[in-house]
């Protein structure tokens, strides 16, 4: 079975408070992108209860026990007797970018295993499993625009439609660890909720729809701020860092000039598409 775990962007990201369990309450909109990894899940006979994992494409710096695809397999193996399974991931979404690539890989692994082996696990239970792997993993089970609150696991449909909008995403090759970002972020002042702001016309977003991680990441990695500024100068009606960084996206009314961005920021990951 082959599937395509996709990336996401955050429209706004407000840090509401730090919780007693050391997580943070947030408010954001998760919006899916077509940019995706390639995941192949296949059975191999005679190896009951064994999972083999391999990876091509972008190198993933993690210990085997921390690999999110393997963690997804272990989640299901904890409640089902699993046949031998081979998982191969071709990685195209940059890690440490704030685009949820690892979480998506885990969620799609859960769904692929469920379908491939006819396990009959409900969408709701898959979401619960995904939530034990990562805060934004449950989003990728249903994979539609949602308003996310709590630590990112409380999801409700988002009243926002960007269909047909051109998007540009650039990642400077700087992986930002979410643990470091959350440990150092300052809780912002939020006169309006994300839910209220996204209900406004797109042209109002730039001045009000903020990502609270931007000041921290911009001060430590100025190139991230420069990418955002360049996208705005090119005509993006909205540009923001996504997640805890360090990828930046811009939304445009017409197809943006990729050649200009490549010239300004040579060698950096660049992707364009439509929402």
Residues with catalytic function: 8, 136
Nearest to 169 by CA among 14, 275, 89: 275
Q: Cβ contacts of residue 4 below 8 Å, gap of 6+?
A: 36, 37, 38, 39, 108
Q: Which residues pair with 167 in a beta bridge?
A: 251, 273
Q: Measure the CA–CA gap between 272 and 39, rounded to whole angstroms.
A: 21
Q: Cβ contacts of residue 10 below 8 Å, gap of 6+?
A: 28, 29, 30, 31, 98, 211, 240, 242, 243
DSSP string, 35-64: EE-EEEEEE-TT-TT-EEEEEEES-----G
For residues 181 and 216, is the Cβ–Cβ distance under 8 A? yes
Nearest to 85 by CA among 63, 109, 56, 61: 109
Q: Measure the CA–CA gap between 139 and 243, rounded to whole angstroms.
A: 14
Burial class of residue 226 (count of CB atoms within 10 Å of its CB; 0-12, 13-18, 19+)? middle
């Amino acid at each position: 079975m082959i599937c395509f775990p996709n990336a996401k962007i955050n429209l706004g990201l407000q840090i509401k408070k730090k919780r007693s369990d050391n997580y943070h309450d947030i408010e954001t909109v998760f919006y899916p992108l077509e940019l995706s990894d390639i995941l192949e899940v296949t059975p191999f006979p005679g190896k009951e209860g064994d999972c083999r994992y391999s990876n091509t494409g972008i190198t993933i710096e993690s210990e085997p026990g921390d690999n999110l695809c393997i963690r997804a397999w272990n989640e299901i193996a904890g409640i089902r007797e699993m046949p031998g399974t081979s998982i191969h991931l071709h990685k195209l979404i940059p890690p440490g970018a704030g685009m949820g690539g690892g979480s998506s890989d885990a969620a799609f692994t859960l769904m692929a295993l469920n379908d491939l082996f006819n396990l009959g696990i409900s969408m709701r239970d898959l979401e619960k499993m995904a939530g034990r792997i990562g805060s934004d993993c449950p989003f990728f089970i249903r994979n539609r625009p949602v308003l996310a609150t709590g630590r990112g696991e409380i999801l409700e449909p988002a009243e926002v439609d960007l269909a047909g909008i051109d998007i540009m995403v650039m990642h400077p090759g700087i992986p930002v660890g979410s643990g470091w970002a959350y440990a150092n972020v300052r809780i912002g002042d939020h006169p309006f909720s994300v839910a209220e702001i996204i209900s406004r016309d797109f042209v109002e977003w730039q001045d009000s729809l903020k990502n609270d991680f931007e000041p921290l990441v911009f001060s430590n990695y100025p190139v991230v701020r420069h990418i955002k500024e360049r996208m705005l100068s090119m005509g993006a009606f909205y540009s923001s860092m996504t997640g805890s960084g360090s990828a930046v996206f811009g939304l445009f009314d017409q197809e943006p000039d990729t050649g200009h961005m490549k010239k300004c920021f040579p060698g950096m990951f660049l992707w364009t598409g439509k929402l």
